[in-house]
Amino acid sequence: MVRVLLADPLAYGDEFGAALAGWVPDVESWRFPDGPADGNYDVLAVWKLEEPFPDLPESLKLVFCFGAGADHLVADLRIPAHLPIVRLIDDGQAAELADYACHAAFAFLLNDQKYRIDQAHGIWDPVFARRRTRADARVAVLGLGPIGSTVATTLAAAGFTVRAWSRTSRCLPGVETFSGQAGLADCVYGANILVNLLPLAPETVGILSAPLFARLTPGAYLVNLGRGGHLDEVALQNALDAGEIGCAFLDAFAEEPLPRAHWIWSHERVRITPHIGGLPTPAGAARSLAAAIEALRTAAPLPGLVRAAAATKTSL
Ligand code: GLV
């Protein structure tokens, strides 16, 4: 028997519950704020710990992040260091993010932001120059984890010219890959579309910055599907106003919900979505949680490990 506290609304649906029970027949689960009468459970599946959140029990052995990026859980001091944190790995979520990136890449091809602005001002101003082909459009993808790789290969399969950068070197069919600090500058050089899918870590904070924007082709589209902390907002504002960046598709923000008075809301070259670029799918999330539980049971390496346990209190 494994006891799981589900503390994310995306885990409350019947499809998720049925899929999890299919993978882990002896699971006993509760949907927060419900919980076991004795307060004890083995696994906490949560995106963000609410404020306040009941004290975590001694029985807890694993925190499963109900999302691809666990930066906020790693930083949460209410989670003791002896607990491992793993993140969800879900092909369905990766496919949604690939759709989002393709949407922005096609918007670039179709000059979408210009015509939106023209429409808002009642301006009829067709551009008759030959339209770019997909292969003409150079996309730079930052981050080659499971999601970044899916996004890069999907864009490449759609016909875009794709480069991708990761901290350590990776190979990906149909994609020119770069790594290391020098590789980053080379990867983004001349890009028309810059897609960020990096994890947020001290070395990636503010990486979407003025020096990077200056290397893009003027008028490039920026697509931030990572975290708000990756983006230097002042640099973005300057780059938008200087035409260095033609349009920014932003799905994640330093403060969420984005404060109503923030300049980003009303900038005509910014497209906002409320952090829905790729949501965990019920089947994929259940499968990922089940894989983590199985690894915990068998003391196998935890898939999606973000932070290892500081001590050894980690098997079921
Ligand atoms: C969403 O931001 C996620 O990390 O899954």
Domains of the chain, residue spans = 2-90+280-307, 91-272
- The answer to whether the 2-90+280-307 and 91-272 domains have the same CATH topology is yes
In order of 32, 108, 213, 264, the CA distances from 78 in angstroms are 17, 43, 37, 32
pLDDT, residue 93, reads 98
**pLDDT of 312 above 60:** no
Instruction: Please work out whether the CB of residue 69 comes within 6 Å of at least one atom of ligand 1.
Output: yes
To test the ligand 1 pocket, which listed residue (10, 47, 100) has its Cβ within 8 A of the most ligand atoms?
Answer: 47
Q: Are strands 27-31 and 43-46 parallel, antiparallel or unpaired?
A: unpaired
Ligand 1 center to 87 CA (angstroms): 9
Instruction: Please work out whether the CB of residue 246 comes within 6 Å of at least one atom of ligand 1.
Output: no
With H, G, I as helix, E, B as strand and everything else as coil, classify residue 301: coil
**pLDDT mean across residues, the chain:** 96
271 strand-pairing partners:
249
Residues with Cβ < 8 Å from 120, sequence gap 6 or more?
Answer: 268
Instruction: Please work out whether the CB of residue 68 comes within 6 Å of at least one atom of ligand 1.
Output: yes
Ligand 1 center to 194 CA (angstroms): 19
pTM: 0.95
The DSSP string of 112-152 is HHHHHHHHHTT------SPPPPTTTSEEEEE--SHHHHHHH
Task: Convert the pLDDT of each residue in 17-67 to its tens digit.
Answer: 999 999 999 999 999 999 999 999 999 999 999 999 999 999 999 999 999
CATH class of 2-90+280-307: alpha beta
Q: What number of residues does the chain have?
A: 316
Q: Taking the mean position of all CA atoms in its chain, how far away is CA 150?
A: 12
Q: How many CB atoms lie within 10 A of CB 195?
A: 30
**pLDDT of 315 above 70:** no
Provide, rounded to the nearest whole percent, the portion of the chain with pLDDT above 70: 98
Strand ranges inside the chain, DSSP E = 2-7, 27-31, 43-46, 62-65, 85-87, 138-142, 161-166, 176-179, 193-196, 220-224, 245-250, 270-272, 305-307
CA 290/CA 61 separation, integer angstroms: 14
pLDDT, residue 314, reads 56
Ligand 1 center to 67 CA (angstroms): 4
* Domain 91-272 falls under CATH 2.60.40.1730: no
Residues designated catalytic: 227, 275
pLDDT, residue 301, reads 97
